[in-house]
Amino acid sequence: MLLTIFVLCLIPLTRYYQIDQPLIRRFRSARKVDPLALHAAGEFVENNLGTEFNSDGSVTLRMIAQQYLFVPHCVAIPTAVPVHLRITSADVVHSLAIEGTDYVVKIVPGAISQVTLEFPKPGIYKTVCREFCGAGHYDMRSEFRVLPKSAFPRMGSSDRGYCAAQ
Ligand SMILES: [Cu+2]
């Protein structure tokens, strides 16, 4: 009996990264957003989604996960620069897994997940949701188009990069 309890207690420890940091952050009240008001105000309004070039050469990529899509559906990213992905959910728990890499980001409504990614080589990276989120889960996909830096036009500070803009 004691052993069973002990083993059950160990499971959350081994799954720490899945249970997980956005959720813990949420209770620490850092990086909170209102999932029902993402479109209304704040950094996740529609014309702020996509890639933004920062003055230090890095890129900030803002996305929303919702049943059953990622917004924007396709984003353009330059190679070999730090990409600060900031993503949140408009409804339930999702995750963003980038095929061909080890990157998986858990996305929890009410919290912003932030990770820094880097893509050394150009290519098309398919991304999928790996958290079962409902009937349309298996169609929940998007695409990262990683392009050489020269493929990007000079973007103003209010421009955002996504595939249709290329
Ligand atoms: Cu899903």
d(CA 142, CA 128): 6
Supply the pTM of this predicted model: 0.79
Q: How far is the CA of 46 from the centre of ligand 1 (A)?
A: 21
| DSSP state letter for 68 | T
Domain extent for 76: 2-165
Q: Average pLDDT, stretch 41-63?
A: 89
What is the number of domains present in the chain?
Answer: 1
Give residues whose Cβ lies within 5 Å of ion ligand 1.
129, 133, 137, 140
pLDDT per residue as tens digits for the range 142-166:
999 999 888 777 776 777 777 766 5
* C-alpha 27, offset from chain centre: 20
CATH number at residue 128: 2.60.40.420
Of 68, 47, 59, the residue nearest 144 (C-alpha): 59
Q: How far is the CA of 152 from the centre of ligand 1 (A)?
A: 31
Q: How far is the CA of 153 from the centre of ligand 1 (A)?
A: 33
pLDDT per residue as tens digits for the range 82-103:
999 999 999 999 999 999 888 8
Q: How far is the CA of 7 from the centre of ligand 1 (A)?
A: 29
